[in-house]
Amino acid sequence: MTTPRLRQMKGHGSKFGRKKEEAIIALLSQRNIEEAARTIKVAPNTLMRWMKEPDFDKAYREAKREAFGQAIGRLHQMSGAAVTTLGKVIIDPGTPPAVKVRASDSILNHTIKALELEDIEARLDALERSTDQTKPGWRRQ
C-alpha cells in the first residue's frame, strides 16, 4: 500500500527511510498510534516523535489526502445511485410524508453545499491567478 508520494521520496536524497514509510502506512491503516507503532515494531514515543518532524508530517498529510481522495472517488461513483434512490423514495406514493421530506431535504442540502463549494473554488482560482500576476517575473502561459 505504498503511496506514489512515498515512492517518490524514497532514494531521492531524503532522510525518509523504509521504516518511516511503513509508519505512514500503519498510521493510515491502524486505529491509533499505539497499534501503528506495534505494527512496525517501534515504540509509540518514536512514532510520535517522527510525527513532529516536518518531512514526516508533510508525507503523512499527503498520504492521508490521497487516501481520502480515493474515498471521495468512490463516493462520486455511488452518488448517481444515491440520488436515484432518494428520487424514487420521494415519488413513491407508499413512502410516508416524513421520509419524503427527509429525502427532499437531503437532496437540497447536498445541492446547496455543492454550489457553495463550486463558488469557493472559483473564487480561490481567481485569487491565485491574481496573486500569480503580481509576482515578479510572472508570465502568462
pLDDT tens string for the chain (141 positions)? Answer: 444 455 445 444 455 789 999 999 999 999 999 999 999 999 999 999 999 999 999 999 999 999 988 888 888 899 899 999 999 999 999 999 999 999 999 999 989 999 999 999 999 999 999 988 777 766 655
- Going from N- to C-terminal start, the domains of the chain cover 1-76, 92-134
Cα–Cα distance between 31 and 45 in angstroms, integer? 16
Q: What's the predicted TM-score (pTM) here?
A: 0.53
Cα–Cα distance between 73 and 77 in angstroms, integer? 6
Q: Cell 481522495 belongs to which residue?
A: 69
